[in-house]
Amino acid sequence: MRGARSAKWVAGAIVIALAATACGGSDDDSGDDNDSGKAGGTFRMGITEPVAIDPYNAQESEGILVTDNLFTGLYEPTSDGEVVPALATSKEVSSDGKTWTFKIKAGTKFSNGEPVNAEAFIRGWSRVAQKSAASDVAYHMAGIAGFDDVQAGKADTLSGLSAPDENTLQVKLSAPDFEFDIKTSHTVFSPVPEAAGDAKNKTYNEAPIGNGPFKMQGKWEHNKSITLVRNDDYGLTKAQLDTVQIDILNANNGVTLEYQGFESGQYDWARMPTPQLPTAKAKYEPQDEWIQQDTNGMNYLLPITDNGPMKDQKAREAVSYAIDRDAIIKGVFQGMYTKSTTILPPVFQDVYQKDLCTSCIKQDKAKAKQLASEAGLEPGSTLELAYNTGSGHEEWIQAVQQQLEDVLGVKVTATGKPFAELLEDQQKSGATGLYRYAWGADYPTPDNYLFPLLDTASINKDSSGNVTGDNRSRYSNKAFDDLVAQARASNDPAARNELYKQAEKVAMDDMALIPLWNRTQLRLANTKEFANIEMDFHENPNLAEISQK
């Protein structure tokens, strides 16, 4: 399993997202929001141009915002790291973990009248896997039997999918997976009508016909707008809003525009530029329009562990000790972030092990120096620190650079590169030093961090020794791999979580990644006109539940 819900924030993390106090405090406000709202109204917001809004390739927060409201699948993630049933009325897994059977709510329809049945799911999932789709999210289907044939163009339908009856979907997997139900909460597992055609059907790509709480009004006006209207034939609890007006903004200053738009009353939901946070918080928190919430994302420094100055665990620990996270958070991030002391995000409450990373808790110059000298990271030596430009990382990178230079006496070369170049650098055999890195899960399970980021299988070197997987720190530890494998083979959620916690500790002790700070999202929401506004798992407003006051 590869993967991350590769939201734009991952590259654009700092501008867009600011982690905050990991208190999930906004949940406390929900009591106020339970005013019984009335139907109607137009909800206005801004996003940046999505890659796709068709479930075959919807991938980042923005695309998922639209797809998630146009389509309803088997399960849905909740904002606090759980999954709940949507169209699935029951699930069943075989003891070997290779066969899943889902019952689907009968009688619901797509907005063009076609029935939403097991066939619709088989159609949707197979469509994603087809070679011609070249889908960036097709890897989610990789565990389903027959995936390779469909990818190779030998078959059109995933052979592992079948419909014993109209409303029963049976899924055969090529390897055991006791968390497959959780994975179906991703929008890539949406059903599609026959009208969808194949993945390259432009008409459908631009105006998908779905079975969700909303439907498209007109088509996707690229770089301009997307308009959603309520689907009055929705099979589950109907939405209240009449219309959702989504402006598509320039990625460069979209955040600023959203904020300014909220301030001038043009938007009902907005992100804020980092610099404005203190002002915005002071102004909007008392008015109950301030949303602050932990989400599933982490910011790290990625050390190259098989080569160069970061090969030694002690060198990595020295770097970790040398960074004054508190000072950076206070100085650069206006105190809106909280520092990380784990690899897994605190939003996964069941597995969260606060302060697992002892070197992360407080800057310790003496320890840093000592460890560095033990590791042979001598003053005067050079350390590469690479990051991608144009995403607002410049400032904190400069701060980290200076702290490392001050404490360790090393020369840190901070190099900003366009992302493609940075990625190629990371992948190259012979890469050394430190890279900026961030990760978010596709679905709420620890596996979605630990396996792709740290499992030996995820290094996946090609013939010339370049890494093609997401484990670009090249961390490889058999003990860790074994623990993850055991967890994956367990059908008991509690036992599974325990194994994941142990695996995380192994990786943390090895300093396989250097945690920096958590991801907490801050939003402004127009609670004066709308009731029940919350941030969902994808960091979007819960459009289907919002109502007019």
Site for another protein in 132-161 (CB under 8 A): 134-136, 138-139, 151
Asked if 422 touches another protein (CB under 8 A), the answer is: yes
Please identify, among the stretches 31-39, 210-218, 349-357, 386-394, the one whose residues bind another protein according to the rule CB under 8 A.
386-394
Residues within window 307-336 making contact with another protein, judged by CB under 8 A: 324, 327-328, 330-332, 334
Q: Out of 414, 487, 506, 507, name the contact with another protein by CB under 8 A.
A: 414
Asked if 256 touches another protein (CB under 8 A), the answer is: yes
Asked if 439 touches another protein (CB under 8 A), the answer is: yes
Residues within window 174-193 making contact with another protein, judged by CB under 8 A: none
Least Å distance, CB 170 to another protein, is: 26
Asked if 224 touches another protein (CB under 8 A), the answer is: yes
Least Å distance, CB 252 to another protein, is: 5
Asked if 222 touches another protein (CB under 8 A), the answer is: yes
Residues within window 30-59 making contact with another protein, judged by CB under 8 A: 46, 49, 51-52, 59
Residues within window 3-22 making contact with another protein, judged by CB under 8 A: 3-4, 6-8, 10-12, 15
Least Å distance, CB 402 to another protein, is: 5
225 class by beta-carbon count within 10 Å (0-12 exposed, 13-18 middle, 19+ buried): middle
d(CA 66, CA 246): 9
Start-to-end C-alpha separation, the chain: 44
d(CA 399, CA 387): 13
Q: Chain centroid to CA 544: how far? A: 21
Asked if 429 touches another protein (CB under 8 A), the answer is: no
β-partners of residue 416 are 387
Asked if 197 touches another protein (CB under 8 A), the answer is: no
Q: Please give the angle made by the CA atoms of 427, 512 and 60, to the nearest 5 degrees.
A: 60
Q: Out of 163, 195, 423, 457, name the contact with another protein by CB under 8 A.
A: 423
Q: Which two tokens stand for residue 195?
A: 């009208």
d(CA 302, CA 285): 35
Q: Which two tokens stand for residue 294?
A: 């932990």
Asked if 419 touches another protein (CB under 8 A), the answer is: yes
d(CA 79, CA 540): 10
Q: Chain centroid to CA 183: how far? A: 13
* Sole residue written with tokens 């990760």: 439
Asked if 301 touches another protein (CB under 8 A), the answer is: no
C-alpha radius of gyration, the chain, whole number: 23
Give the count of residues interacting with another protein (CB under 8 A): 83
Please identify, among the stretches 96-104, 311-319, 349-357, 461-469, the one whose residues bind another protein according to the rule CB under 8 A.
461-469
Question: Are 526 and 548 a contacting pair, CB within 8 Å?
Answer: no
Cβ-Cβ contacts under 8 Å for 260 (sequence gap 6 or more): none
